[in-house]
Structure 1
C-alpha cells in the first residue's frame, strides 16, 4: 500500500492540500495510466485529470477511503480499464457500421430502427423514470434535472441507472449503437 502524504491528515482535502496532492502524484499517475493504456500520450492525461476532478467533487466520499493515494491509483486503473472497454466496443460497432456496400439508405433505416426500439422501451418506463431519462438524454445534468423536478440528485442518479438497465435488458447491444448514432447525427428520443 502506498503511504498517505503527511499533509493530508484524516483525509481533510482542503484546496491547498488537494493542489499539493495533484502536483505530487499527477506525473506518476500519468505514467501508470500510460502503462495500462499502452500509449505514450493522449488519453492518459485526460483520464488522470478526470479522476482528480471527480475526486475533488466527491470529497465527502473520499474521507471514508483508507488511503487517498491508493484510492487515486485504483480510480485511475478502473477509469483506464473502462476506457479500454469503451474503445473496444466502439471499434466493433464502427467496423460493423462502416462495412463496404452499406448504402446511406440502409444506414439511415438501421439508425431509425434502433431509435424506434429505444423509444419503445423508454415509453414503457415508469413516468418519473422516463422523464428523468429523457431530460438526461437532452443533455441536462443530474443537478439540473433534480432542480427542475424538485427531487434529490441521488433520486435522479438511481432513476437513470434503472432506465439504462431496463433498456439494456430489452434491446441488448443496440443500446451501444444508439449512443454511437446519437454522436454522429441529431437523433432524438420520443419524437
Structure 2
C-alpha cells in the first residue's frame, strides 16, 4: 500500500489529521491549477472548498486512490466545469472550452525580470506559443508530476494522444527558441526527475 493510499483510507474514515495533511499538501497546487482555467481567485477557492466539502461528506463511500493529487485535480476540474455551467444559466459549456489560460511560474519570473537574456526572452516567447491544451498537459506532467494515465483521465485523452500532445508542445517550444537555448526545456519546469521521458 502506498503512502497516498494509506492517508486516503484514514481520510475516508474521518481522520482529521489525514484531512489536514491532504488539504495543506495540495491546496496551493490545486489553486495554481484552477486559476489557470478561471482567473478569479475567490471562485477557485470556493471550488476547492466545495471539493473538500463533498469529499468529507462522501467519506467511506469514496473510491480508492493511489495518487491523491490526481484525484483532487480531477474533482476540481469537474467542479469548475459544473460551477461555470451554473453561472451561465443553462448555457452548456463544452468541457474542451475550459481553457487553461494561466502562466507557468517561470513565465511570471521572466516577465518580471528587467534584464532578461536573449535565451530567457526566447523561452518566454516559446511558452506563450503553446495552446491551452498544451499548457495544461505540460502543467500536469511537469509541474504537478502526474503520470500519463492520470493526465488522460483528467483531460479526457487517450494515452497516445497525451504523449503526442506533450511531444508537440516541447517540439513547438524548441522550434520557437531557434536553437538559442542549449539545455533541455523541461529543466525549466518544477517536477520530479522520475517523470523525465
Q: Where on the TM-score scale, by shorter chain, does this alignment land: which range?
A: 0.3 to 0.5
TM-score (norm 2): 0.39
**Higher CA-based Rg:** 1
